[in-house]
Amino acid sequence: MASGGILSSDRGRWATPANGLTALRLLAAPLLAAAILHGRPGLAAALLGIAIATDLGDGALARRRGEASPLGGLLDHAVDATLCTAGLAAWACLGAVPAALPPLVAAAFTQYVLDSRALAGRPLRASRIGRWNGLAYYGLLAVPIARDALALPGPGRAWTRAAGWLLVATTLVSMADRLAALRRPRAGAGA
């Protein structure tokens, strides 16, 4: 990668405690998907709890230790996208959410990284709808896990599918908005 990019500027900063928490969440992603697919709601709930705890803790730890970096932010968001994509893909295999949603989550994240120019070392720039979508992906992943782990009667499959289709729509809107923003001239752009 060219000098000044995210990988070259943070080469010595990969092995931090905060990135260790992020890596733990990455390891939880395929295990979470397997727990969902194999009908193990207690295990899925425990893995999701670990994922949420590490997501809440990694950034705070990095800031407290003075180790926050564009690389850490990119890793954090990439692992969130991986976890949500894997978990939602498992739910899609079971028919609980639309099959279109997991690949859209991955595509929206890829667009987010490229649009932000994060690979060149710039910080990620979330859009308002993209930020809400990110939270909603986690929520849609969590609701059926909590329902099944607690043996609750609902919300049922119709609710999760409807919420999934709503997220398909808002993800497409977010992606279209980002694309339109790239085509608009930026203020202060030279002649």
The mean pLDDT value of the chain amounts to 88
Q: What is the pLDDT of residues 14-56, one digit of tens each?
A: 788 999 999 999 999 999 999 999 999 999 999 999 999 999 9
* Confidence (pLDDT) at 165: 98
CATH top-level class of 14-182: mainly alpha
* Confidence (pLDDT) at 123: 75
**Does 9 have pLDDT greater than 70?**
no
* pTM, two decimal places: 0.87
Contacts of 68 (CB under 8 A, 6+ apart): 18, 59, 62
Locate the domains of the chain by residue range: 14-182
Give 185 or 8, the one with higher predicted confidence.
Answer: 185
